[in-house]
Amino acid sequence: MRPLRVGVAGAGIGIRYAESFARVEGAEVVALCAATRRNAGPAALALGIEGVYTSYEEMLARAELDIVAIATPNHLHREMALAAIAAGAHVLCDKPLAMNAGEAAAMWRAAEGAGVRHVVPFWWRFLPAVQAAHALLAGGALGEPWFADVRYLNCGWGDPHGPMRWQFERARAGSGALGNVGSHAIHVLEWLAGELRRVCAHTAISVRERRRADGSTARPDVEDTVAFVGELAGGAPVAFLASSVAHHVRSAFEIAVHCGEGSVSVTALSHWPDGPDGRLMVMRRGEQAPGVVAAPPLAGTAGLAQALSPQDVAYTAIAAELVAAIREGRPVAPGFADGVRVQAVLDAALASASAGGWAVPDAPAMVAA
């Protein structure tokens, strides 16, 4: 059976997706597309990728791709995904899936209508501690959620006062910290505890001026910090905070779900010697204190965990899941439907922050074309 041919759009985080697919048996990365050859050329050479393109349309037309990984600014996701689907390719599209829930739903409908597989790389879901937390909560032994607390703090690419990036521009990103880091946390929250029924949000731009590469001044127009209170479908309250300007470790993710018969909490800190793989704490009713619970590695990744960061292990697991789903003719999780759901929460949070008061996530009807 021939390897599945993979093309990657984007030479930023896209390089890590290319590396991940290159580790997966049955996949071959054959094309890389970026805005300039200066960005794509060196990476392609280092990874042994023969096809280098500065035109996405040309890559689709010439590279004969089975899989397209889209890792570009958010405003390009919809059109790139639709073009890949029209070309018959399966699609990995970075988060947030689109600029709004309507765009995301259009992507889902097109993928389902064409019968192609689709995945959104919410990579914290593939952390062993999060997987183990899900298994505990899904079994129902801890009862219904009473409340949940979520924090995702990011040190802004290493410097909260760093240079201007497209992630700080509404026209290309759609939202700031909410979509860039908050989307990950929202997906994990809903995967563990159930859907958010409504949210009441506040956003802030803490760093009001940044520098462009040419030295000129730029003013971000999307939030770098967002907080909201929310309500789960069963009535449980949620406290949520996400920021890309935290003076903290490079990336810090924490979630706790407290239920009627106990609680689970996960803490994961990158660039920190204690616990980058995630620490799972569990306390059951009647116990005096939470205890650390070992989280087994994902199937097939034990050897990778010795050589790669948890994020790269997770990316590789996502790539392997997509390849397996294609071979086996089954859906992938998390797929575009999960991306639509997260996008609906993002839209509601932005609407709440703009108008004040509560807003209800309004996911479009998920009916395939």
- For 263-295, letters b (16+ CB in 10 Å) and e give bbbbbbbbeeeeebbbbbbbbeeeeeebeeeeb
End-to-end CA distance of the chain: 31
The sign of the dihedral angle between the CA atoms of 238, 189, 70, 47 is positive
In a domain, 51, yes or no: yes
- Do 143 and 265 fall into the same domain? yes
- For 323-332, letters b (16+ CB in 10 Å) and e give bebbeeeeeb
* Residues 86 and 304: beta-carbon distance below 8 Å: no
pLDDT, tens digit, 9 for 90 and up, residues 32-62: 999 888 878 888 888 899 899 999 999 999 9
* Residues 51 and 311: beta-carbon distance below 8 Å: no
Q: What is the pLDDT of residue 80?
A: 98
- Do 103 and 202 fall into the same domain? no
- Do 108 and 206 fall into the same domain? no
Q: What is the CATH number of the domain that holds 240?
A: 3.30.360.10
Cis peptide before 290 (omega within 30 of 0): no
Q: Which domain holds residue 111?
A: 4-123+316-335
Percent of residues, the chain, with pLDDT higher than 70: 97
- Do 46 and 83 fall into the same domain? yes
- Do 219 and 73 fall into the same domain? no
Which pTM was predicted?
0.96
In a domain, 87, yes or no: yes
- Do 102 and 204 fall into the same domain? no
Q: What is the pLDDT of residue 38?
A: 80
In a domain, 345, yes or no: no
Q: What is the pLDDT of residue 303?
A: 79
- Do 86 and 151 fall into the same domain? no
Domains in the chain: how many in total? 2
Q: What is the pLDDT of residue 271?
A: 62
* Residues 170 and 179: beta-carbon distance below 8 Å: no
Weakly modelled stretches of the chain, pLDDT under 50: 274
SS3 232: strand
In a domain, 228, yes or no: yes
Q: What is the CATH number of the domain that holds 10?
A: 3.40.50.720
- Do 165 and 265 fall into the same domain? yes
